[in-house]
Chain A
Amino acid sequence: MSLIQEIDFGTPKSKSEAMVTLTIDGNQITVPEGTSIMRAAMEAGTQIPKLCATDMVDAFGSCRLCLVEIEGRAGTPASCTTPVMPGLVVHTQSERLKKLRKGVMELYISDHPLDCLTCAANGDCELQDMAGAVGLRDVRYGYEGDNHVFAKSNGEANAAWMPKDESNPYFTYDPSKCIVCSRCVRACEEVQGTFALTISGRGFDSRVSPGMSESFLGSECVSCGACVQACPTATLTEKSVIEIGQPEHSVVTTCAYCGVGCAFKAEMRGEEVVRMVPWKDGKANRGHSCVKGRFAWGYTTHKERILKPMIRERIEDPWQEVSWDEAFNFAAAKFKGIQQKYGRDAVGGITSSRCTNEETYLVQKLIRGGFGNNNVDTCARVCHSPTGYGLSQTFGTSAGTQDFDSVEGTDVVLIIGANPASAHPVFASRLKKRLRQGAKLIVLDPRRTEMVESPHVKALHLPLMPGTNVAVLTALAHVIVTEGLVDEAFVRERCDWSEFEDWAAFVAEPKHSPEATAIMTGVDPKDLREAARIYATGGNGAIYYGLGVTEHSQGSTTVIAIANLAMVTGNIGRPGVGVNPLRGQNNVQGSCDMGSFPHELPGYRHISGDAVREQFEAMWNVKLNNEPGLRIPNMFDAAIEGTFMGLYVQGEDILQSDPNTKHVVAALSAMECVIVHDLFLNETANYAHVFLPGSTFLEKDGTFTNAERRIQRVRKVMTPLNGYADWEVTIMLGKAMGFTMNYSHPSEIMDEIAALTPTFTGVSYAKLDELGSVQWPCNEKAPEGTPVMHIGGFVRGKGKFIITEYIATDERTGPRYPLLLTTGRILSQYNVGAQTRRTENVVWHAEDRLEIHPHDAEQRGVRDGDWVRLASRAGETTLRALITDRVAPGVVYTTFHHPDTQANVITTDFSDWATNCPEYKVTAVQISPSNGPSDWQKAYDEQARNSRRIAPVVEAAE
């Protein structure tokens, strides 16, 4: 293994199809039109010296090292800013060029510290490399002149010198080392799209500045790391590199946070991670990252990780550390006992959308094959189950239709109930780049999200009342149909025409007009009509949506309404368009694909289908139950009823993440054996009897499938601290229960998946190593995978229009609960926060806050930062208020990252009519001033503390 050195071509790749041939240093080379001379030279293997150029951002032309000579042209043009032309004859090295480059380097070094040996970038410094490349041997200006290097010059304070900014927890900014190449500034603008950085001052005083000379932490910086990655010197450096030193080898792997699925190089020294650097060949992220994947991996070695198996008879007891064998035997005995006493169906399990495809597959295999029932479910139940239902009904597949690259060809973006800037930040950056190029943006969201407020992006924001998605989407369809904006040719060719006619007649009814529905939705009819026209007629229209669509009592209906919109406008089946659910977790797509739902075997095939089931029975050598099992909420209900007594939960904190916490507590407390397989003693573990230590994504091999159906490798870079990867633990648990699963490596599990799943037939580790990633379906028809689905026709045959009647949720506001609570996420924290709360990310978000409109706050005497009591029909909690007009009057908003807030005490049991996906996004609440944590919170906290006790181990005397 060695350190992966990615080639920096200096300027971005040209997308032109016209080719140009020129001669560089005597070699003919053919490149796309629009390519820079610098890039053309690099493609031919000649590295022209450069400092300000890097292929993640556009050419800038400031460092003046990359000058070349072109025959027939005067002067020495910069190769980064000069495009290729047919027949050019370029020389990259000459006496004149050598002298110029040396002259420029001499100037650079005259204002740069000479501490290379003790510098964090030693060995990874482009300035150092260039000084070597141009043969700089002497700096004749001396070091006594004006400079940014020394705090004092000639005994007096040097006004130009600035101290290090160490405010960001993950990287430092040392202005004394800055060469003002503007790569960080441009990365922040062009790659990330935040525009937090600028160059302050002019001339010799020029220096990189976050905002108006603020600290990095105090500025608008979102800590994505693009600037650090772009910096050619030690000016912006990861603190981990400063502390540890330069890495010696690297391994490409996939981020374990959100559904974007960023590819990273884990840069290592031995088994210690030095840093995570986004991989430019990663097809989801194209070399970009966010604060979580780039920096927030410290949880993997956090002291609170549990590394030894533990058991206890009662949840009131302290945990007993035991050997793996004891733990497995204890768990197996309990589960078998439960099945003997309450029946085969009294146990079940929950697969993890955080774990690999292979691990998820094994857990459902253990449940179906080993437990002998189909009581398996996954967290997608509470997020995107309506997506699976809605898209398979209309299109015939349970996944997004595009790859992320598709956004580069989009003209109109419609975002519904998603805030990618917080929850899918790397995709958001790619989207914002397209928007700055002129694509139009329409946002349907109760809140004025970060997407609405992005720099240099103008959004048409439709701030609807929570719970009225279906009414708004049907009104959009009403405008499209009644104003004659239907893509009739597409509908006639690809969809069922008579179903379309029924649907069109339905949406055309006057009661579905924007004007008629405005009273419910709160959306200005003029804006809504404008949005419909833009989406229908503005070119390639793409819909991206999130949990604001699915987590409603009409979640599935909303997904169907979205599919209808895409079909009626012909926005499906080619790059640039499509329907794209932004999947929340790194492998939630994969966990759904792998048969995590009680009614479906891997590949979304119903368990009752004999032919399919028999294939699995033959391969697994076991008889399978043909009845669908229990969904998560059914498991809870059955537990309270006394018929469901044992649960194996891998990598999911259902207590914190599922709605109506009190109900979940009651269910877990009623069970006789809860096995939690996780990194930490999470909230669910407070009610567990067996704790099996989990492993992190750095400690195992496997694959994750992201929101674009992209299967990517997860590669082991260190030995599991707990001893075993999660797939090994599941195998051993199965063995203890008498169910044998024999695999020596996860690649064998993938081979089995490929053999049993038609959409995965062509997937193997060898192919993933070769291609980097593939998007399913990957089979004989599409050996390299399928970036865009439904090209030429829908998977199900004809696209199906389904009528979407708006039915208001039963969760209503009233005199006692007059406000609507909606929940969401923030950039720096991830989901229940089990990981991010154990990183420095807490500096950005140390607690959940309740966003409330100034008008509602004033009526209730609430000031910014005050403790408020938040009560719903389900429960109450307290948290501190954040007064903002991002939310409309009548709407309040909070995040659910912190267990001490317990936002889900408030949320209710209402759920999607088709899939039971909980209605997290609408809860009627009231708020009032409060003195601090509620009694429930205090009692919860005490129970949690008590439950997390671990009995001291008594060492036997020698």
Chain B
Amino acid sequence: MRAKPPLPAHKGLFGRPSVINNVLSFAAIPFILDNGAKAYADFGMGRSRGTMPIQLAGNIRYGGLFETAFGATLGELVDEIGGGTFTGREVRAVQVGGPLGAYFPRALFDTPFDYEAFAARDGLIGHGGIVVFDDTVDMVKQARFAMEFCAIESCGKCTPCRIGSTRGVETINKIINGERVAENLAVIEDLCNTMKFGSLCALGGFTPYPVMSALKHFREDFGGDLGPAPARLQAAE
């Protein structure tokens, strides 16, 4: 993982300017060539133009890959396109954007699928993955999973991610064991702040999203005295 700038477009592979494309871009090209840029841009809302291939997964009745214009609400995507949970139980949490996306409760199902709208609610669109959980989910374990995921995937270059993810798993374990829950929640909050703003890349920088959203929206799963909900994380870069 190299610090940027310089961006790959200026200095990339072998130190030369390099174009890096997401497969999503390639998927959009045939339509744009066929129908023109305006036709593509006419889809979507706000600054999020065009379409997005959305991956519906997890505990969902109609899982799969669906391409739709930006702007549908999260509720429409989960309940109408996805048909709710596979188990038939109530949807409790939805992780949007990939393993480092935020967990949204039903209360936020009115959020339109739009970069700015998700960011305004401390979430992200990411690669368009949506993972659905029913009411049997234990959100403190989901928070720990995010830290574990980061620890396993970490390249080890920057300190917040290299050491922070391991300490995150350990600290959440203490919370699960009921050890000094309030103090350890404060540690987690500080750690998430360090990782979010201190990490070199998006792995460490985004791991706080699932952790902090789980804590914010599902505080009851973290045990201890239910103190005031943690302060809202500062906006991402």
Chain A residues proximal to chain B, CB less than 8 Å? 59-64, 67, 74-76, 78, 80-83, 96, 99-100, 103-104, 107-108, 110-111, 140-141, 145-146, 179-180, 182, 199, 201-206
Contacts of B3 in A (CB 8 A): 59-61, 78, 80-81
Shortest distance between the CB of B10 and any CB in chain A (Å): 12
Q: How far is A929 from B165 in the complex, measured between Cα atoms in Å? A: 62
Of the candidate stretches B38-46, B99-107, B151-159, the one touching chain A is B151-159
Contacts of B199 in A (CB 8 A): 64
Given contacts A76-B197, A146-B170, 13 further A-B contacts (CB under 8 A): A59-B3, A61-B158, A61-B200, A63-B158, A67-B197, A67-B198, A96-B197, A103-B194, A107-B160, A180-B162, A182-B157, A203-B154, A204-B156
Nearest to A103 among chain B residues (CB) is: B194
Shortest distance between the CB of A209 and any CB in chain B (Å): 12
Q: How far is A83 from B193 in the complex, measured between Cα atoms in Å? A: 25
Nearest to A78 among chain B residues (CB) is: B3
Assess whether B162 is in contact with A104, with CB atoms less than 8 Å apart: no
Q: How far is A661 from B1 in the complex, measured between Cα atoms in Å? A: 59
B5 interface hit (Cβ, 8 Å): yes
A63 contact from B5, B159, B165, B191, Cβ within 8 A? B159
B193 contact from A82, A99, A111, Cβ within 8 A? A99
Q: How far is A146 from B164 in the complex, measured between Cα atoms in Å? A: 11
Q: Tally chain B residues at the interface, Cβ within 8 Å.
A: 35
Top 6 A-B pairs ranked by shortest CB distance?
A103-B194, A61-B3, A206-B156, A75-B237, A203-B154, A81-B3
Assess whether B198 is in contact with A111, with CB atoms less than 8 Å apart: no
Contacts of B154 in A (CB 8 A): 202-204
Contacts of B234 in A (CB 8 A): 96
Q: How far is A78 from B234 in the complex, measured between Cα atoms in Å? A: 19
Contacts of B158 in A (CB 8 A): 61-64
Contacts of A202 in B (CB 8 A): 154-156
Contacts of A96 in B (CB 8 A): 197, 234
Nearest to B6 among chain A residues (CB) is: A83
B90 interface hit (Cβ, 8 Å): no
Contacts of A76 in B (CB 8 A): 197-198
Nearest to A204 among chain B residues (CB) is: B166
Assess whether A64 is in contact with B200, with CB atoms less than 8 Å apart: yes
Shortest distance between the CB of A381 and any CB in chain B (Å): 48
Shortest distance between the CB of B181 and any CB in chain A (Å): 14
Interface bits B56-67 vs A (CB < 8 Å: 1, else 0): 000000000000
Nearest to A97 among chain B residues (CB) is: B197
Contacts of A78 in B (CB 8 A): 3, 200
Assess whether A82 is in contact with B155, with CB atoms less than 8 Å apart: no
Contacts of B170 in A (CB 8 A): 141, 145-146
Q: For chain B residues 178-237, which have a beta carbon within 8 Å of chain A?
A: 183, 187, 190-191, 193-194, 197-200, 234, 237
Q: How far is A107 from B204 in the complex, measured between Cα atoms in Å? A: 14
Assess whether B166 is in contact with A64, with CB atoms less than 8 Å apart: no
Q: How far is A81 from B155 in the complex, measured between Cα atoms in Å? A: 19
B163 contact from A81, A201, A204, Cβ within 8 A? A204
Contacts of A61 in B (CB 8 A): 2-3, 158, 200
Shortest distance between the CB of A190 and any CB in chain B (Å): 14
Assess whether B171 is in contact with A64, with CB atoms less than 8 Å apart: no
Contacts of B191 in A (CB 8 A): 103, 107
Assess whether B155 is in contact with A110, with CB atoms less than 8 Å apart: no
Assess whether B194 is in contact with A107, with CB atoms less than 8 Å apart: yes
B92 interface hit (Cβ, 8 Å): no
Shortest distance between the CB of A910 and any CB in chain B (Å): 50
Contacts of A199 in B (CB 8 A): 156
Which of B164, B165, B183 lies at the interface centre, i.e. has the most chain A CB atoms within 10 A of its CB? B164
B167 interface hit (Cβ, 8 Å): yes
Contacts of B237 in A (CB 8 A): 74-75
Assess whether B156 is in contact with A100, with CB atoms less than 8 Å apart: no
Contacts of A110 in B (CB 8 A): 163, 167
Known: A74-B237, A78-B3, A99-B190. A107 touches B152 (CB 8 A): no
Q: How far is A78 from B4 in the complex, measured between Cα atoms in Å? A: 10
Contacts of A104 in B (CB 8 A): 159-160, 194, 198
Shortest distance between the CB of A474 and any CB in chain B (Å): 39
Q: How far is A111 from B157 in the complex, measured between Cα atoms in Å? A: 15
Q: How far is A83 from B162 in the complex, measured between Cα atoms in Å? A: 25
Contacts of B187 in A (CB 8 A): 140-141
Known: A59-B3, A203-B153. A103 touches B163 (CB 8 A): no
Contacts of A204 in B (CB 8 A): 151, 154, 156, 162-163, 165-166
B151 contact from A108, A141, A180, A203, Cβ within 8 A? A203
Assess whether A205 is in contact with B156, with CB atoms less than 8 Å apart: yes
Could you list 10 examples of A-B contacts with CB < 8 Å?
A100-B193, A100-B194, A100-B198, A103-B194, A104-B159, A107-B159, A108-B159, A180-B156, A201-B156, A205-B156
A203 contact from B4, B155, B198, Cβ within 8 A? B155
Q: How far is A301 from B234 in the complex, measured between Cα atoms in Å? A: 62
Q: How far is A214 from B153 in the complex, measured between Cα atoms in Å? A: 25
Assess whether A206 is in contact with B162, with CB atoms less than 8 Å apart: yes
Nearest to A179 among chain B residues (CB) is: B159
Contacts of B2 in A (CB 8 A): 61
Contacts of A107 in B (CB 8 A): 159-160, 163-164, 167, 191, 194
Assess whether B5 is in contact with A82, with CB atoms less than 8 Å apart: yes
Q: How far is A191 from B63 in the complex, measured between Cα atoms in Å? A: 54
Q: How far is A141 from B3 in the complex, measured between Cα atoms in Å? A: 28
Assess whether B159 is in contact with A62, with CB atoms less than 8 Å apart: yes
Shortest distance between the CB of B156 and any CB in chain A (Å): 3
Contacts of A180 in B (CB 8 A): 156, 159, 162
Which of A61, A74, A201, A203 lies at the interface centre, i.e. has the most chain B CB atoms within 10 A of its CB? A203
Q: How far is A619 from B196 in the complex, measured between Cα atoms in Å? A: 76
Nearest to B180 among chain A residues (CB) is: A140
Q: How far is A111 from B151 in the complex, measured between Cα atoms in Å? A: 15
Q: How far is A107 from B159 in the complex, measured between Cα atoms in Å? A: 7
Q: How far is A82 from B170 in the complex, measured between Cα atoms in Å? A: 33
Q: How far is A67 from B160 in the complex, measured between Cα atoms in Å? A: 13
Q: How far is A180 from B158 in the complex, measured between Cα atoms in Å? A: 9
Nearest to A203 among chain B residues (CB) is: B154
Contacts of B160 in A (CB 8 A): 64, 103-104, 107
Shortest distance between the CB of B213 and any CB in chain A (Å): 20
Contacts of B166 in A (CB 8 A): 145-146, 203-204
Contacts of A179 in B (CB 8 A): 159
Contacts of A59 in B (CB 8 A): 3
Contacts of A182 in B (CB 8 A): 157
Q: How far is A75 from B234 in the complex, measured between Cα atoms in Å? A: 10
Assess whether B152 is in contact with A203, with CB atoms less than 8 Å apart: yes
Shortest distance between the CB of B6 and any CB in chain A (Å): 9
Shortest distance between the CB of A437 and any CB in chain B (Å): 10
Nearest to A51 among chain B residues (CB) is: B159
Contacts of B165 in A (CB 8 A): 203-204
Shortest distance between the CB of A138 and any CB in chain B (Å): 10
Nearest to A199 among chain B residues (CB) is: B156
Shortest distance between the CB of B148 and any CB in chain A (Å): 11
Contacts of A108 in B (CB 8 A): 159, 163
Which of A60, A63, A75, A107 lies at the interface centre, i.e. has the most chain B CB atoms within 10 A of its CB? A107
Contacts of A145 in B (CB 8 A): 166-167, 170
Assess whether A103 is in contact with B190, with CB atoms less than 8 Å apart: yes
